[in-house]
Amino acid sequence: MVDSEVLFIPRRRKPRKPPLDEDMILEWADKHYNRTGTWPNGGGGVIEDAPFPIKWITVENALRVGIRGLLPGSSLAVLLNERRGVRNKQALPKYTIESILSWADAHYTKRGTWPQVQSGAVDRAPGETWLAVNQALTNGGRGMPGKSSLAQLLLEHQRARKCRPLPGLTTEQILIWAEKYHQRTGNWPTRKSGDIPECMGETWGSINIALTSSSRGIGKKTSLARLLNAHVGARNRSALPELTIDQILLWADEFMAANGSYPTCNRGDIAGSKGETWSSVNSALKVGRRNLPGGSSLAQILFVNRGVKRGKGPKLP
């Protein structure tokens, strides 16, 4: 007979979970970043580089609560920020008026225009955008009191004018400013030439925008480069005139008459050509631009058409 006494069967204990430490977690995070190009977050899946089964959410909970050998009150985002400098979106640094103005000045120096809400990333502040800056200025947060905007801040600190209304423009006025710029610098302005001293708050970038958008009284769409090319003959690099072999040979003959030798591609400007250089001509001959067929060079056409032999450059078969 079976004994009526109840048999006691000891309960098997669950295996103890391996302890964790910050260096171990950072090693897994580094491998994750090297493999994927992104840092892990607390909601991620299985940690592929761990020697035992574990998920990133488990690590996140252990860091927050303080279990498995870890101290409480941290998180994966905090750890990566402190030890790897990874941007923590839950604890973003505060803005200051001085830093925003410094970023705006750098943006203007690089692009010739002041930043706007849609200007994208802030060059001098990785991870920041002008949209985020404007939201903090408008709604408050990150050290800003709110009830302002990026445009208002730049206006108050004499960095830019309100977009509307802007004064009207005329072709004659633009050409006067361009002529004064040419007198000061020896060059014609481009859209990146910065402020116009004769008109406070006006920039060559804003002039080009008005020309290309046919706004502020400009009747026909054009651009600063096309306008200066049409009225003062300034070289427009986006619409260079066509070249011919006969024209190149004529310039080469004139160079020979003046210097006693034919030109090479490193001889600089071509006299009387309105901005051409021997280097640009050689490039057009090689690549096939500006109505030239390509596959040639300055040395090649001088050899074929003028019998000029040189130690360098392509040789005829």
Cβ neighbours for 225, distance < 8 A, ≥ 6 positions apart: 190, 191, 234, 236, 237, 238, 239
pTM: 0.41
CB 177 within 8 A of CB 196: yes
pLDDT value for 25: 93
Under 8 Å between Cβ of 121 and 128: yes
Residues 84 and 29 sit within 8 Å (Cβ to Cβ): yes
Backbone angles phi, psi at 121, to 5 degrees: -70, 150
DSSP 160: -
What's the pLDDT score for residue 5?
56
Identify the pLDDT of residue 94: 92
User: What contacts 194, CB < 8 A, 6 or more positions away?
Assistant: 108, 112, 203, 204, 205
pLDDT at 171: 92
Residue 127, classed as helix, strand or coil, is: coil
Say which amino acid occupies 103. Answer: W
Using alpha carbons, list the distances in angstroms from residue 155 to 11, 53, 60, 163: 75, 57, 45, 10
Q: Which two tokens stand for residue 143?
A: 């050290």
Q: Which 8-state DSSP code applies to residue 203?
A: B
pLDDT, averaged per 10 consecutive residues of the chain (317 residues), comes to: 56 81 93 90 85 92 92 91 86 91 88 84 90 90 89 80 67 94 91 82 81 83 89 79 89 91 89 83 87 88 87 40
Question: Which residue is it, tokens 């030239």?
Answer: 292
pLDDT of residue 182: 92
The domains of the chain are located at 22-84, 97-156, 171-232, 245-306
Question: d(Cα 90, Cα 60) in Å, to the nearest integer?
Answer: 14
pLDDT of residue 218: 86
pLDDT at residue 52, as a whole number: 93
Q: Which amino acid, residue 193?
A: S
User: What secondary structure, in 3-state letters, does 34-83 show?
Assistant: HHHCCCCCCCCCECCCCCCCCEHHHHHHHHHHCCCCCCCCCCHHHHHHHH
Q: In degrees to the nearest 10, what's the CA dihedral of 67, 68, 74, 76?
A: -130
The pLDDT assigned to 99 comes to: 94
